[in-house]
Amino acid sequence: MPKRRSLPLSKVYGLLETGPVVLVTTAHKGRSNIMTQSWHTMMEFEPPLIGCVISARNYSFDLLDASRQCVFNIPTAELLKQVVGIGNCSGKKIDKFKKFGLTPLAAECVQAPLIDECYANLECKVVDRKLVNSYNFFILEVVQAWIVPGLKEPQTLHHRGNGNFMIAGPTVKTTSKMK
């Protein structure tokens, strides 16, 4: 049985709309990196578009801008230490996969690897960089999505600032007609 299965692209927005911390992986010319990231938003349902800020001060900016590809990996609370550690160092001189004991998996549509320990992975391609120079803001299209089935209420992490993380609480169902 495969650990993860393909997720219909129409369901991607529900993974990101809650505002989880993500681990963005990038790769270019034999180098790869991981970055902790919270500044992202959905911009379209289908095909799913994500807007995100990747600061030019980060090594990941160089890899993303050169390759025009990345993967959004969504961690749960078990990975809190890694999320913090990855956010506190630069990948310019170290291999973060090795340093933090994470497992890279080959993606299907992009060069950047999936992180096996994350419960969801979104393979993305840069489709618009009009706001990169002014705001470091990239618009990505999700071209392939993966999920580890069975996690109905994933304990995602949500950064409150200054190293304080909110862990996702219970889910309530309403009769909302909102998509």
What is the contact surface with a copy of itself in residues (CB under 8 A)? 11, 13-14, 17-20, 36, 38-44, 49, 51-53, 80, 84, 87-88, 128, 130-131, 134-135, 137, 139, 153, 155, 158-179
Contact assessment for residue 138 and residue 64, using Cβ atoms and an 8 Å cutoff: yes
**Shortest distance, CB of residue 97 to a copy of itself, whole angstroms?**
20
User: From CA 85, how far away is CA 89, in angstroms rounded?
Assistant: 7
The residue ranges of DSSP E strands in 45-156, in sequence order, are 49-53, 69-74, 104-105, 114-115, 120-128, 137-147
**Shortest distance, CB of residue 28 to a copy of itself, whole angstroms?**
24
Strands 49-53 and 40-44 turn out to be: antiparallel
**Shortest distance, CB of residue 111 to a copy of itself, whole angstroms?**
25
- Cβ closer to a copy of itself: 92 or 108? 92
- 3-state class (DSSP) for residue 52: strand
- Cβ closer to a copy of itself: 28 or 127? 127
CB atoms under 10 Å from CB of 130, counted, come to 10
**Shortest distance, CB of residue 68 to a copy of itself, whole angstroms?**
18
Count how many residues are written for the chain: 179
Q: Tokens standing for 83? A: 């999320």
- Cβ closer to a copy of itself: 98 or 176? 176
- Cβ closer to a copy of itself: 65 or 80? 80
